[in-house]
Amino acid sequence: MAHTGGCLCGAIRYAVDAPLRELRACHCIDCQRASGAHGAVVAFVRREHFRIVQGTAKRYAKKADSGRTLFRYFCGDCGSSLYSYRENMPEVIGVRAGTLDDSSGLRITAHIWTKSAPPWSYLDPAARQVPGQPEGPPRPA
């Protein structure tokens, strides 16, 4: 297994059987609310490389600023945000980097929705920065 991860309380565990390298940081208001922080940092993976190995995550659906509905999955016990995907692109999963057991070696290659990033958010100047929604679909591992 290339990567494993789970929520804070340990009820939900997942596995990713593809190597992850790139992270994308989203600073949209929804991701700030959902994370309670500066936004969400995710690694994209194809659905066939992602599986829940323990527990069942709860789902919250919300239409994003982009107009697309995003399904956000989280632990109903401890509240950890675990993964999400777009209603119209269920084949690509965005795994929350902070839930990975080992995220060493991964780096943020793009910051998106930087126009709504709070002033206390760190934006890596070496990464691509996009004010709103980037063109094209995410590139999964």
CB of residue 112 to Zn ion, shortest distance in Å: 7
Restricted to residues 2-41, the positions that interact with Zn ion (CB under 5 A) are: 7, 9, 11, 26, 28, 31
Residues 6+ apart with CB under 8 A from 64: 28, 30, 70
Restricted to residues 71-90, the positions that interact with Zn ion (CB under 5 A) are: 75, 77-78
Cα–Cα distances in angstroms (integers) from residue 106 to residues 24, 38, 81, 134, 141, in the given order: 10, 18, 19, 20, 12
**Interface size with Zn ion, residues (CB under 5 A):** 9
Residue 6 near residue 101, CB atoms below 8 Å? yes
Counting contacts by CB under 5 A, is residue 95 touching Zn ion?
no
Which residues of the shown chain bind Zn ion in the complex (CB under 5 A)?
7, 9, 11, 26, 28, 31, 75, 77-78
